[in-house]
Structure 1
Amino acid sequence: MKALVFITTFLIFAVGPVRACNTADLVAGLSAADQSGLKVRIGRPSSQYNWITPDNRFVIHYDMTGNRAVYHANEDINPADGIPDYVNRTADYLEAAYDSLVLNLGFDPPPFDGMQGGDYRYDVYLTDNLGLTTPEDPSYQYPGRPAYTSYIEVGYDMRYPTRYGDDPNPFLKVSIAHEYFHAIEFAYRVYSSDFTFWWFEACANWAEERVFTDVNDVYYSLPTYLSNPHHSLYQTSGQFTYGAWLFPEYLDERFGSDLLVSCWLKFARYDFSINAIMNAFQDIGADLNNEYCQHVIWNYFAGDSNSFYREGANFGASVFEARTHIIFPVNWSQAPITLENMSSSYISFGRNDEDKSTLIIEYYNTTTDRQAVGLAVIRPGIPVQYSVYDANTGVSLLLSVSMFGREDKVVLMPIWLYETNPKEEYSTYLYRAYLRDTLNTAVDEGKSPITDYSLDSTYPNPFNGAVSISFDAPGSKPYTMRIYDIIGRTISERGGISNEGLNTITWQPPADLASGVLFYVIDFGQKRLDGKMSLLK
């Protein structure tokens, strides 16, 4: 018994297409039906004509009359072979996609479908769907893989007036590359435990750019991705998944397309895409989280002359900065936007005066989540400098940038890393920033060597959410910090090892601790530092 499955489709309208691909919606509907124990088969479109392409790999099905007649159906000039030029161009673009993705890059072609569509060749239908790749039957052509046969539909008239005027070819090119890569993907798997179809759509958009790099239609999808860095790479749906082509693009530019082939081979074995990608990285001695952090940094410079992407300066889109600071000190601040798993944020720091001093940024991971922090320093006339640091739970991360002046910009990039299993919660953090001389301490330039232990600051004081106690130390030595209330009860105790120079301990009071005066002691054995602070709730 066949089940009725509701499938969202997007048709061609006079004003131009709304969306390039309907495959994700179709697969989601089929997957839901399959998980309910229903077997669904979508009937293939009917057509008036079919034509075997010159490379003998495809059959194109099309109409010459009626509501689905191909664009300029009677135009038969290039070449004059009795076939509409629009159909000839479809064949050209299919051949280009096959040559680039299969012959040159090494992806496996879609499985043969037996005699579906008339013969063994791959079938492409010119219909009122802008782009749709339909998985049809399980295939055993690639042993051990959950592969499926498929067929493609693209539009009979792919004009996109707001982008390409009256010329249907640019959008036809990229739609064919996009859908043909979906067909390639189905040679590895169709259904997965992923939250969204993100990896399929991201890679299909990447394939558009790889096959037809002159069109750059993928640039239109970047604003949604770059303006929402706090959304999860693998959990966010909609237009975000198309803009996420920057992630496979990053992998390609960093490691070459062989890594992407490996990712898809792994995806045939691991039904969660992030785990597949992680295993592909392990095979080449790389780490998923390290590379994701680099991707976050690259994204900040998208659309900029400093871009790390080959075409990045031309992207015409840039990331959303969650907060910008030009006045110091910056008191302890909550995350401007909470993070989803495998996401990031961007907080920038600048100056509006002519002084130069050391910028100190303190970052505090208030959760048990695995976080990292990227830090980029942008100065005129020299290459961008950037680093990535682990942000361990409950430990203040102290970052410093010397000679921070009016023409400089520093960008803090909090990142929630992947943690072996998907996380659907939110992560957060605290941070503060100050200039080294705003706390009446010496600027790092020319500072005398530290020969003794001394308190630097207790900030903010009074405090509410968290307080940072900073001290100078001449070297590495174990210490114990104890915090007492006004009647001498121990509220908190923790140990640590000092570093040479400035050290900072960030402390958050228990939720049930009442307002009042607190005292602290940092005990190095032969030396003690003590002070007091006020908690205000």
Structure 2
Amino acid sequence: MSIGSDILKPNNTLGFLLKGLTVVSLLSTGSYGDISALENLALSIFAPDRTSPARRQGKFVKCLTPIVSSVKFYEPYLSRNAKIALSSLFSRPQLPKSYLSRSGLFRVHYTTEGSDAVPTEDKDKDGIPDFVQEVASALDSAYVLEVEILGYPEPVKDGGAGGDDAWDVYLHDLGHLSTYGFTNPERRIGNSSTSYIEMDNDFQDPVFPTKGLDAIHITAAHEFFHMIHYTYYGRSGWEWWMEISSTWMEDVAYDDVNDYYNYLSFFFGHPEVPLNRYDGSHEYGASVFAHFLEERFGRDIIRRMWEEIGRRQSTSLRIWEKVFPGGWRDVMGEFALWNYFTGKRARPDFYEEGENYPEVRTEEHTSLPDSGQGSLPYLASVYHRFLPRGGSMDFFLSLQEPGVWKGWFVSDGEWWPAGTGESRMEGEEEVTWIGAVGVTEGNYGYRYLASYEASAGDTTGTSQQLAEFPLPNPFLPEEGKLVVRFHLDEPGKVSMEIYTILGRQIWKHEEEFPPGDGKLSWNGRNSEGKPVASGIYIYLLRYGGRSRKGKIALVR
């Protein structure tokens, strides 16, 4: 593709944030002033001699597909000097030798001379470097997994641009770019784009977290998935999800490599950042979102998300609202809960590899009374832990626009859903509030107040519990109902909710009661009237902003 070609057309938004440089909504606003940020960033990586030392890219970035994609699709708005300096991105590398993989699907281009030379070891004496054959074999394996087993479509063929109809992969030195590789979109065909892959020529550079054969394997799986992405959506706008899902695909293909562990701290250290941020670090740590989706809903959900992108041809996050069971709000709420149970807090009910993940950043409050407020952007979460070590406490929480939030309280190894709007909790000596925003735009406020319970410490007064413990516990449905008794000082609505141990609501009943003693009961069936299985469940009783919770054992 020549410089100045209009074959690739940009979409209406570009959300690119790398090294603190932001380029947003260039076409939708009609203002192209921020395109210089994209130019400077691309030049700092691909033509550092054209930028000042202060702007030169220095950190390792796992995959440069996002910036290559942005440069290619916004090429019409680049300055003439930038187009000239970045000309290598608009034409294929020229390498003298090539090898067709055993499947005939991939042509690997390489050289054995100069700075781009591949390792020349050839143990089988067939005239083809073993390194090249390893790359070809890894690509063939990626095709079998991603297309034949997982059911993704083949990438679009490029019409012989690399010499024949095989998909092309170019091996040259990328260590100086501090990246494993990237996939370069080339020509639009309908809603798709053709593309080719560029990978490092030896994977031995000190900057690489993973080296050698493992790096070959994960990069092949990662970049081939990008080629598939361009089949679904041949424009710019989904770069963050491309990186999340390709990093996840590496682990599907090579579960024992775990290169994504190297980036998890960028996500777990900043849960307050929107999920769709990409800055060269966050998106790779956020690949844990795809792991959550797979483990919670099954592996096919990732493909269904890409199919929806292909069907809608939109970059709106709202297109997945019906793909996710319960929509964004429920998914973000559960995701936030799973992210709490990692590291030393890991439990078998959550991430399979959770004990190897870092613990999410949590703001701790050790002195009462304590009050505060904050705000949280879309598709993000926040964690506040209150552990005053001075007796039981009262806790009050108020959420702006409660319909966008999904939250939890965690205490002493138990967790239960936080209320919406205003919530009040009594009698806990330690509690963590987890809040997640499950909408796709905006910022939303919250405030909290924690103080010692009236009956604790040197204070005076009494605190009456909302309800007694449920009886019987363990609960045998064949012998009767589970009953929770309570006392109300004023008339009001009381609700009783039953949740699975993973926080999924299976039953709820609300009823108006006069002042005095009352009771609610559960017969061991879900909201559809079907018997639930034996196991541990969470009950939650709510009244006037107050709540009582606990675990019950159901035995059949």
Q: 2 CA distance for matches of 1:301 and 1:451? A: 36
Pick aligned residue for 1:341 from 378, 390, 396: 378
Q: 1 CA distance for matches of 2:137 and 2:515? A: 70
- The Cα of 1:262 is off from its aligned counterpart by 0.8
Give the letter aligned to residue 185 of structure 1: H
Secondary structure of residue in 2 paired with 1:191:
coil
Query: Would the aligned equivalents of 2:378 and 2:443 in 1 still touch at CA under 8 Å?
Result: yes
Rate the CA distance shift 1:426–1:411 in 2: closer, same or farther, 3 A: same
Pick aligned residue for 1:57 from 91, 100, 105: 105
Q: 2 CA distance for matches of 1:91 and 1:263? A: 29
Q: Does 1:187 align with 2:226?
A: no
Q: 2 CA distance for matches of 1:500 and 1:95? A: 57
Pick aligned residue for 1:327 from 367, 370, 384: 367
Rate the CA distance shift 1:119–1:163 in 2: closer, same or farther, 3 A: closer
Aligned residue number for residue 82 of structure 1: 127
Rate the CA distance shift 1:55–1:10 in 2: closer, same or farther, 3 A: farther
Secondary structure of residue in 1 paired with 2:445:
coil
Pick aligned residue for 2:252 from 210, 226, 240: 210
Rate the CA distance shift 1:475–1:272 in 2: closer, same or farther, 3 A: farther
Query: Would the aligned equivalents of 1:8 and 1:26 in 2 still touch at CA under 8 Å?
Result: no
Query: Would the aligned equivalents of 1:8 and 1:25 in 2 still touch at CA under 8 Å?
Result: no
Rate the CA distance shift 1:123–1:503 in 2: closer, same or farther, 3 A: closer
Aligned residue number for residue 529 of structure 1: none
Give the letter aligned to residue 66 of structure 1: G
Kindly indicate which of the two structures has a greater share of residues assigned to helix: 2
Give the letter aligned to residue 84 of structure 1: P
Secondary structure of residue in 2 paired with 1:187:
helix
- The Cα of 1:237 is off from its aligned counterpart by 3.3
- Paired residue total: 424
Query: Would the aligned equivalents of 2:396 and 2:424 in 1 still touch at CA under 8 Å?
Result: yes
Q: 2 CA distance for matches of 1:431 and 1:83? A: 66
Q: 2 CA distance for matches of 1:473 and 1:430? A: 31
Q: 2 CA distance for matches of 1:313 and 1:218? A: 14
Aligned residue number for residue 343 of structure 2: 303
Query: Would the aligned equivalents of 2:188 and 2:234 in 1 still touch at CA under 8 Å?
Result: no
Q: 1 CA distance for matches of 2:136 and 2:103? A: 9
Rate the CA distance shift 1:170–1:444 in 2: closer, same or farther, 3 A: same
- The Cα of 1:162 is off from its aligned counterpart by 6.4
Secondary structure of residue in 2 paired with 1:24:
helix
Query: Would the aligned equivalents of 1:373 and 1:415 in 2 still touch at CA under 8 Å?
Result: yes
Aligned residue number for residue 184 of structure 2: 134
Pick aligned residue for 2:318 from 272, 275, 278: 275
Gapped runs of 5+ residues in structure 2?
Answer: 6-37, 49-57, 175-179, 469-484, 492-513, 519-540, 547-556
- The Cα of 1:170 is off from its aligned counterpart by 2.0
| Residues 262-411 of structure 1: pairs in structure 2 closer than 5 A | 262-270=304-312, 271-272=314-315, 274-281=317-324, 285-307=325-347, 308-315=350-357, 317-321=358-362, 323-330=363-370, 332-335=371-374, 338-352=375-389, 357=392, 359-366=393-400, 370-379=404-413, 385-389=414-418, 391-392=420-421, 396-400=422-426, 404-405=428-429, 409-411=430-432
Q: 2 CA distance for matches of 1:51 and 1:449? A: 76
- The Cα of 1:288 is off from its aligned counterpart by 2.3
Give the letter aligned to residue 63 of structure 1: T
Secondary structure of residue in 2 paired with 1:174:
helix
Rate the CA distance shift 1:387–1:160 in 2: closer, same or farther, 3 A: farther
- The Cα of 1:446 is off from its aligned counterpart by 8.4
Pick aligned residue for 1:176 from 211, 220, 236: 220
Rate the CA distance shift 1:33–1:289 in 2: closer, same or farther, 3 A: same
Q: 2 CA distance for matches of 1:361 and 1:503? A: 11
Rate the CA distance shift 1:60–1:364 in 2: closer, same or farther, 3 A: same
Pick aligned residue for 1:252 from 254, 269, 294: 294
Secondary structure of residue in 2 paired with 1:309:
coil
Give the letter aligned to residue 191 of structure 1: R
Q: TM-score, normalised by structure 1?
A: 0.71
- The Cα of 1:198 is off from its aligned counterpart by 1.0
1:430-472 CA-partner distances (Å, limit 9, x unpaired): 1112343347223539889646449xxxxxxxxxxxxxxxxx9
Give the letter aligned to residue 375 of structure 1: F
Query: Would the aligned equivalents of 2:407 and 2:419 in 1 still touch at CA under 8 Å?
Result: yes
- The Cα of 1:201 is off from its aligned counterpart by 0.8
Secondary structure of residue in 2 paired with 1:64:
coil
Q: Percent identity?
A: 26
Query: Would the aligned equivalents of 1:369 and 1:416 in 2 still touch at CA under 8 Å?
Result: no
Aligned residue number for residue 514 of structure 1: none
Rate the CA distance shift 1:500–1:100 in 2: closer, same or farther, 3 A: closer
1:93-125 CA-partner distances (Å, limit 9, x unpaired): 112222222122111121111111011111110
Aligned residue number for residue 437 of structure 2: 416
Secondary structure of residue in 1 paired with 2:377:
coil
Aligned residue number for residue 237 of structure 1: 279
- The Cα of 1:369 is off from its aligned counterpart by 7.3
Q: 1 CA distance for matches of 2:59 and 2:271? A: 27
Secondary structure of residue in 2 paired with 1:150:
strand
Secondary structure of residue in 1 paired with 2:196:
strand
Q: 1 CA distance for matches of 2:295 and 2:111? A: 41
1:266-300 CA-partner distances (Å, limit 9, x unpaired): 0013312522322322xxx5422101110111112
Query: Would the aligned equivalents of 2:61 and 2:280 in 1 still touch at CA under 8 Å?
Result: no
Query: Would the aligned equivalents of 1:370 and 1:391 in 2 still touch at CA under 8 Å?
Result: no
Give the letter aligned to residue 45 of structure 1: P
Rate the CA distance shift 1:399–1:80 in 2: closer, same or farther, 3 A: farther
Rate the CA distance shift 1:252–1:35 in 2: closer, same or farther, 3 A: farther
Query: Would the aligned equivalents of 2:3 and 2:90 in 1 still touch at CA under 8 Å?
Result: no
Aligned residue number for residue 467 of structure 1: none
Gapped runs of 5+ residues in structure 1?
Answer: 141-145, 380-384, 455-471, 477-498, 505-537
- The Cα of 1:66 is off from its aligned counterpart by 1.1
Secondary structure of residue in 2 paired with 1:99:
helix
Q: 2 CA distance for matches of 1:118 and 1:162? A: 33
Rate the CA distance shift 1:500–1:247 in 2: closer, same or farther, 3 A: closer
Query: Would the aligned equivalents of 1:473 and 1:500 in 2 still touch at CA under 8 Å?
Result: no
Query: Would the aligned equivalents of 2:396 and 2:448 in 1 still touch at CA under 8 Å?
Result: yes
Q: 1 CA distance for matches of 2:158 and 2:467? A: 74
- Provide the aligned C-alpha RMSD in A: 3.4
Rate the CA distance shift 1:237–1:279 in 2: closer, same or farther, 3 A: farther
Q: 2 CA distance for matches of 1:446 and 1:241? A: 45
Give the letter aligned to residue 107 of structure 2: V
Secondary structure of residue in 1 paired with 2:436:
strand
Q: 1 CA distance for matches of 2:438 and 2:465? A: 33
Give the letter aligned to residue 91 of structure 2: G
Which of these two proteins has the greater Rg computed from alpha carbons? 1
Q: 2 CA distance for matches of 1:303 and 1:266? A: 34
Aligned residue number for residue 22 of structure 1: 64
Rate the CA distance shift 1:453–1:255 in 2: closer, same or farther, 3 A: closer
Aligned residue number for residue 2 of structure 1: 3
Give the letter aligned to residue 397 of structure 1: S
Pick aligned residue for 1:125 from 161, 170, 178: 170
1:347-382 CA-partner distances (Å, limit 9, x unpaired): 0122435x5x4x432111245872232222333xxx
Give the letter aligned to residue 43 of structure 1: S
Rate the CA distance shift 1:131–1:263 in 2: closer, same or farther, 3 A: same
Secondary structure of residue in 2 paired with 1:213:
coil
Query: Would the aligned equivalents of 1:206 and 1:245 in 2 still touch at CA under 8 Å?
Result: yes
Q: 2 CA distance for matches of 1:42 and 1:475? A: 77
Query: Would the aligned equivalents of 2:372 and 2:448 in 1 still touch at CA under 8 Å?
Result: yes
